[in-house]
Structure 1
Amino acid sequence: MLKLADIVRVAGEVRPIEDAMLETVIQAAAPLDKASEGDLSFLSSAKYRRDLAATAASAVFLSEKEVEHCPEGTIALVVADPYLAYARASHLFDQRPKLTSIHPSAAVDPSATLGEGVAIGANAVVCAGVQLADGVEVGHGCVVEDNTVIGARTVLRPNVTIQHDCIIGADCVFQSGVVIGGSGFGYAPNQGRWQAIAQLGRVVIGDRVEVGANSTIDRGAIEDTVIADDVIIDNLVQLGHNVRIDEGVAMASQVGISGSTHVGAGCTIAGQAGFAGHIDIAAGSHFTGRAMVTKGTKEPGLYSSGLPATTNREWRKQIARIRQLESLQTRLQALEKKLSGETGE
């Protein structure tokens, strides 16, 4: 149970409100249309203004222009960015169980170095030469292989695998099922068979990186795979060997990036987008869902490919037109040639 003063303290700059209001008890966070007394909510888009007018929330983050729509009895927490303010306050309501000690069933090699406040869950394995900085949390069933270094306060949720010699920064979060440092897809053809190529690089990850459940980041073939600071990666994402992701990139679920591709700073990549290998993506490039990226980009901007969903009937018409393009081009070229001959050009 919190008081509104606790929420205001972490939310950022909030327009001053009466001291008595700061004693208001806040018990939970809730959407505007479902909130009741004791709940905190937010309005970040005018399309939900009707929900604001009818809300029973005790307090709402909103912008200055929405104050007039806030109902009587609801405290208006006026901020520059309501969504950001709520994001900061939301952590006060997080009830995820946190490890506070090293479980007796954890296997920790004597040569591993553990900082202050390190917590390790049941059946986790920490191998030889591993370095865990202060406040690292290794969840139940995790495996951290030899000589890996993990920075302060980084959290591995249950069943994460960090393979050997990886370097992980501070304040990162890896959700369950993540595999960091697996072998990249490298094979040489050999008379109808495939000869595996040893993957000799590492994975090097910066600070404040978050990786979603069941995502994989392959180790480099010779050089390292590198993920810079403040990158966020959704569930079920696959990054190939020697990929480089610069600062502040965000990618949604089921993105796949092939080996040795470089993604510049600040790019956003929507779900199921796929990238060919050995291409460079300019900083500030943004890709819509299911984009098929076979060439790099030289300028920032919005990029798309593929056909958006429509009715089956309309889709069949579109495909039929696409199949006619080649014959139409041939006819057009013949017509241009004929006209050119008639005019002597």
Structure 2
Amino acid sequence: MPNAYRLQELADLLDAEISGDPDYLITGLGTLETGRSGQLSFLANNNYLKYLSATQAGAVLLKAELAQQCPTHCLLVDNPYVAFARVSQLFDPMANVTAGIHDSAVIHPTAQISDDVTIDAGVVIDAGVVLAKGCVIGANTVIGRDCQLGEGCHLHPNVTLYHGVTLGQQVRIHSSAVIGGDGFGFANENGNWIKIAQLGGVIIGDHVEIGANTNIDRGALDDTVIGNQVIIDSQVQIAHNVKIGDGTAIAGCVGIAGSSRIGRYCLIGGASNIAGHISICDGVTITMATSVTGNITRKGSYSSGTTAVSTPQWRKNTVRFAQLDQLAKSVRKLEKQAGLKKASE
């Protein structure tokens, strides 16, 4: 990809209107506050409007109604943030890779490897693996037996795919993620834990992104399934047999227990936890640090965490929380007494 783009080229890509010189060259991206000549910035949040009039960026992505306030070239779009996301891909250095297989890679002779893949140093690929065209496999990644990767998948260094994992097209997995490890399945016999062999697999749809140090466990019998266009942040734990619908977004440090079902286009805030064997319908938002212990059958926003207060106030609140049951009983007793008194009057 070239190092510079004319505004007209970017406008054609984004279906944008130009206010300024269509031949102006963009060589990089920057913020409104720190951008400089030759860089393209964007304004998607009015909290940053105060920086627009003084920006030194060479051009700005913004809505048409703000064009008069912009001191430089503009690309006028309906959604500046989406437009910025698309342009950012043009300047991603990781997008420029050279196909080839490093001499130190260990590839089983039964693996099917397309000609235009990139396989870096120290990669291990087991028997029966299929890599479709355009895949990029980072250094020291391990791909287990019978895994299948669709076109354009990108595994960053030190990713581990256990056996029997299937990835759709354009799946990106970041470093130290583990896909297809054993689910936490054990049976207890007189205090002794007996391991349950995890015989299912993991199926991941198209255009999925999985963050660093995230674990997605294989199913016990059926597969763990991640739908299309799902985005999963770093340090997320997804247990065995979980099903996640298309377009759902999961922020960092979320834990999802086994056999739960999460619908399409849900938003799950960071540090939330979801109990096992429950269902969450489509279109649910779960705010940060929420504990979900039962089914959610209606779309909307759900919360359970409390915001931070001073430690002395938190201690008082904790004491009062422990008294809630007794307070509730006292209120019911008073309500009953008031009702009897009213009836006698």
| TM tier relative to shorter chain | over 0.9
Aligned-partner Cα distance in 1 for 2:19–2:327: 69
Q: Calculate the TM-score normalised by the size of structure 1.
A: 0.95
> 1:66 aligns to what SS in structure 2?
helix
Deviation at 1:264, TM superposition (A): 0.3
Deviation at 1:312, TM superposition (A): 2.5
Deviation at 1:64, TM superposition (A): 1.2
Larger CA deviation: 333-342 vs 31-40: 333-342
Gaps of 5+ in 1: none
**Is the Cα–Cα contact under 8 Å of residues 99 and 139 in structure 1 kept in the other structure?**
no
Larger CA deviation: 156-165 vs 92-101: 92-101
Measured against aligned partners, the alpha-carbon deviations of 1:8-45 in whole angstroms (never above 9, x if no partner) come to 343x2101456xx2322222211100011111100001
Measured against aligned partners, the alpha-carbon deviations of 1:283-309 in whole angstroms (never above 9, x if no partner) come to 000010000000111110000002111
1:148 aligns with 2:147: yes
Q: Identical aligned pairs, as a percentage?
A: 40
Equivalence for 1:51: 51
Aligned pairs (5 A) from 1:19-168:
21-71=21-71, 74-96=72-94, 98-168=97-167
Aligned-partner Cα distance in 1 for 2:286–2:116: 41
Equivalence for 2:289: 290
Aligned-partner Cα distance in 2 for 1:93–1:8: 16
1:205 aligned partner, one-letter code:
I
Measured against aligned partners, the alpha-carbon deviations of 1:219-259 in whole angstroms (never above 9, x if no partner) come to 00000000110000000001000000010000100011000
- Change in Cα spacing, 1:272 to 1:217, as seen in structure 2 (3 Å) is same
Aligned-partner Cα distance in 2 for 1:177–1:38: 36
**Is the Cα–Cα contact under 8 Å of residues 18 and 74 in structure 2 kept in the other structure?**
no
Equivalence for 1:176: 175
Equivalence for 2:247: 248
1:47 aligned partner, one-letter code:
N
**Is the Cα–Cα contact under 8 Å of residues 11 and 18 in structure 2 kept in the other structure?**
no
> 1:184 aligns to what SS in structure 2?
coil
Deviation at 1:190, TM superposition (A): 1.2
Aligned-partner Cα distance in 2 for 1:9–1:309: 48
Aligned-partner Cα distance in 1 for 2:316–2:190: 45
Gaps of 5+ in 2: none
Measured against aligned partners, the alpha-carbon deviations of 1:105-138 in whole angstroms (never above 9, x if no partner) come to 0001110001230111101001101000011111
Aligned-partner Cα distance in 1 for 2:331–2:50: 55
**Is the Cα–Cα contact under 8 Å of residues 265 and 283 in structure 1 kept in the other structure?**
yes
Aligned-partner Cα distance in 1 for 2:82–2:131: 31
> 1:314 aligns to what SS in structure 2?
helix
1:149 aligned partner, one-letter code:
Q
Larger CA deviation: 147-156 vs 316-325: 316-325
2:279 aligned partner, one-letter code:
D
**Is the Cα–Cα contact under 8 Å of residues 118 and 136 in structure 1 kept in the other structure?**
yes
Deviation at 1:343, TM superposition (A): 4.7
